[in-house]
């Protein structure tokens, strides 16, 4: 068998997506918590392996698109005027010139659309295999849809061979009744592709250079055109409107949960939990109804996430319990700690092993030591708290003086009574005991007891004597 040709990938992402009615370019709209364009980028990386074999064609808001795809290190080119999908592909030619200027002749191209996030690697691999078997110049991904409106239709000739693709807007009423659609995904031989693009004519309703016209060009040149019919029509879904975006969102979220369940995660009401594509969850973790897990969150094994909780870009160790109604952002929670109900952990927070954060507690850039507890009505900001510290109900770090933020340091095994204010910057030594209601303004050495509040005044019999004085006054 002759060695396979290397596959390069061109991703079309220059269009604005007018039908979205958005200020944001279509391919940057999020599906499953990440920009739509990243789905074909991931697929391209899986197929081509080398990011330098991948070109993303950008146009509208190119700078923003470039920023999003830059993490993958792929090549980008700008299509300055949006003259159609054929024109867009032609812009990528420069990326594949190589040293001799015509490297593209020896390559095989996979063309992906930036607006088709549900396409799977398995389908693309099958399609590449079919292309190879049939020694085709071009292989088109197609699907039968119950509602094909809006898509280009695949027109087949007498013996069932693909003869051309006609756009919905250019189609005759008979052609519009065809249910086999063009998914906008192609495998094309480089030596056929780029010369064919130079021959395109914008003789259609939209006056654009259609990539789809190279199908009939191949047929005219006597080249083999193959069609790979997708088993699952859902995969080919292109997103052009907000309705389609919502539908893709639903499907991608279901896929993510399906994958996690296959990995051993329990969802009590899967359709009510929203998990972003990049979230990972360990085995035997239980996700209760109405939960949202976002960004690059990583959750360990044997955790429980109760209802109405939102976790963003956070890392949870093993056996962590998040009770109802918590918001957790940019935080690290070590094994066996318990959070909530109704706690807010803001960015920069670290909760160490077996520590507890309870009802109506807010933390920001705070490090709560191993086994320490802040169980009720507390704010800890810009604070470092040692191990086995008890933070009494209603305790607050006064970290902001109106101009600057200051730090509070609380040593190991400190006992903080209820309703204590730490006026930062302030440092509390190991094992200190702080009386309830104290306002702590000065550093405290290890082992001390401090009570920093107004002394209680008791006047025995005061109420009765006031009443008598009042009576006397009336006579």
Based on the shown chain and the rule CB under 6 A, indicate whether residue 114 belongs to the binding site for ligand UD1.
yes
- Does position 87 interact with ligand UD1 (CB under 6 A)? The reply is yes
Binding of residue 152 to ligand UD1 (CB under 6 A): yes
Of 1, 32, 87, the C-alpha closest to 278 is 32
The answer to whether 444 touches 431, Cβ cutoff 8 Å, is no
- 163 SS3 class: strand
Buried b (16+ CB within 10 A) or exposed e, 413-439: bbebbbbbbbbbebbbbebbbbbebbe
Taking the CB of residue 19, how many other CB atoms lie within 10 A of it? 15
Residue closer to Ca ion (CB basis): 233 or 238: 238
Helix, strand, or coil (residue 10): strand
Query: Which range of residues in 79-87, 305-313, 325-333, 347-355 is near ligand UD1 by CB under 6 A?
Result: 79-87
Per CB under 6 A, which of residues 7..26 are in contact with ligand UD1? 12-15
Q: Which of 138, 142, 155, 156 is nearest to 197 (CA)?
A: 138
Rounded least distance, CB 46 to Ca ion, Å? 22
Count Cβ neighbours within 10 Å for each residue of 338-357 and write b for 16 or more, e otherwise.
Answer: bbbbbbbbbebbbbbbbbbb
Helix (H) / strand (E) containing 262: helix 242-262
Closest approach, Cβ 239 to ligand UD1, in A, equals 8
Give 239 or 337: the residue with its C-beta nearer to ligand UD1.
239
Q: Which residues bind Ca ion (CB under 5 A)?
A: 115, 238, 240
End-to-end Cα separation, the chain, in angstroms = 122
Residue 151 as a binder of ligand UD1 (CB under 6 A): the answer is yes
Residue 212 binds ligand UD1, judged by CB under 6 A: yes
| Segment contacting ligand UD1 by CB under 6 A, of 70-78, 130-138, 181-189, 443-451 | 181-189
Which one, 113 or 314, has the nearer CB to ligand UD1?
A: 113
- Pick the catalytic residue from 308, 376, 406, 407: 376
57 or 357, CB closer to ligand UD1?
A: 57
Q: Which stretch binds ligand UD1 (CB under 6 A): 68-76, 109-117, 317-325, 338-346?
A: 109-117
Question: Which one, of 194, 228, 223, lies nearest residue 211 by Cα?
Answer: 194
**Selected binder of ligand UD1 within 184, 340, 386, 392 (CB under 6 A):** 184
Q: Which of 309, 343, 346 is nearest to 331 (CA)?
A: 346
Q: Are 453 and 437 a contacting pair, CB within 8 Å? A: yes
For residue 179, give the nearest of 208, 151, 212 by alpha carbon. Answer: 151
Decide if residue 57 touches ligand UD1 (CB under 6 A). yes
Q: Is 376 noted as a catalytic residue in this protein?
A: yes
Stretch that binds ligand UD1, among 113-121, 245-253, 319-327, 372-380 (CB under 6 A): 113-121
Query: Token digits for 449?
Result: 């007891």
Closest residue by beta carbon to Ca ion: 238
User: Minimum distance between the CB of residue 391 and ligand UD1, rounded to whole angstroms?
Assistant: 53
Identify the CA nearest to 250 among candidates 268, 219, 274, 228.
Answer: 274
CB of 211 to ligand UD1, least distance (A): 5
Q: Which of residues 392-451 bind ligand UD1 (CB under 6 A)?
A: none
Site of interaction with ligand UD1 (CB under 6 A): 12-15, 27, 57, 59, 79, 82-85, 87-88, 113-116, 151-152, 165, 167, 181-184, 210-212, 238, 240
Residues involved in catalysis: 376
């Amino acid at each position: 068998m002759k060695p396979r040709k290397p596959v390069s990938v061109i991703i079309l992402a220059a269009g604005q997506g007018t039908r979205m009615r958005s200020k944001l370019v279509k391919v940057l709209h999020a599906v499953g918590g990440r920009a739509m364009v990243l789905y074909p980028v991931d697929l391209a990386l899986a197929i081509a392996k080398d990011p330098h074999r991948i070109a993303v064609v950008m146009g509208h808001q190119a700078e923003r698109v470039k920023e999003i795809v830059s993490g993958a290190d792929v090549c980008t080119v700008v299509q300055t005027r949006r003259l159609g999908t054929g024109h867009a592909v032609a812009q990528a030619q420069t990326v594949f010139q190589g040293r001799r200027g015509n490297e593209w002749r020896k390559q095989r191209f996979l063309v992906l659309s930036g607006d088709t996030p549900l396409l799977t690697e398995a389908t693309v691999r099958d399609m590449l295999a079919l292309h190879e078997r049939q020694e085709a110049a071009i292989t088109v991904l197609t699907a039968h849809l119950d509602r094909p409106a809006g898509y280009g239709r695949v027109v087949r000739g007498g013996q069932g061979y693909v003869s051309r693709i006609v756009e919905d807007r250019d189609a005759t009423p008979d052609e519009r009744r065809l249910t086999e659609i063009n998914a906008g995904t192609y495998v094309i031989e480089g030596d056929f592709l780029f010369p064919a693009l130079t021959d395109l004519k914008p003789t259609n309703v939209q006056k654009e250079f259609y990539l789809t016209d190279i199908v009939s060009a191949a047929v005219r040149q006597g080249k083999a055109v193959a069609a790979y019919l997708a088993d699952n029509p859902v995969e080919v879904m292109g997103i052009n409107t907000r309705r389609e975006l919502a539908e893709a969102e639903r499907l991608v979220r279901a896929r993510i949960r399906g994958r996690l369940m296959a990995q051993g995660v329990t969802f009590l009401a899967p359709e009510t939990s929203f998990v972003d594509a990049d979230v990972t969850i360990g085995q035997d973790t239980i996700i209760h109804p109405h939960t949202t897990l976002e960004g690059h969150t990583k959750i360990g094994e044997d955790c429980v996430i109760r209802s109405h909780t939102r976790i963003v870009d956070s890392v949870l160790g093993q056996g962590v319990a998040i009770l109802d109604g918590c918001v957790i952002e940019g935080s690290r929670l070590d094994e066996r700690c318990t959070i909530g109900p109704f706690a807010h952990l803001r960015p920069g927070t670290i909760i160490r092993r077996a520590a507890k954060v309870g009802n109506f507690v807010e933390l920001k850039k705070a490090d709560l030591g191993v086994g320490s507890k802040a169980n009720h009505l507390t704010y800890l900001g810009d604070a470092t708290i040692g191990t086995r510290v008890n933070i009494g109900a209603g305790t607050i770090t006064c970290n902001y003086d109106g101009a600057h933020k200051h730090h509070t340091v609380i040593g190991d095994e400190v006992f903080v009574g209820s309703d204590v204010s730490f006026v930062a910057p302030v440092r509390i030594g190991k094992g200190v005991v702080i009386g309830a209601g104290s306002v702590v303004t000065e550093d405290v050495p290890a082992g001390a007891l401090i009570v920093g509040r107004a002394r209680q005044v008791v006047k025995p019999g005061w109420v009765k004597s006031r009443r008598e004085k009042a009576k006397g006054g009336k006579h």
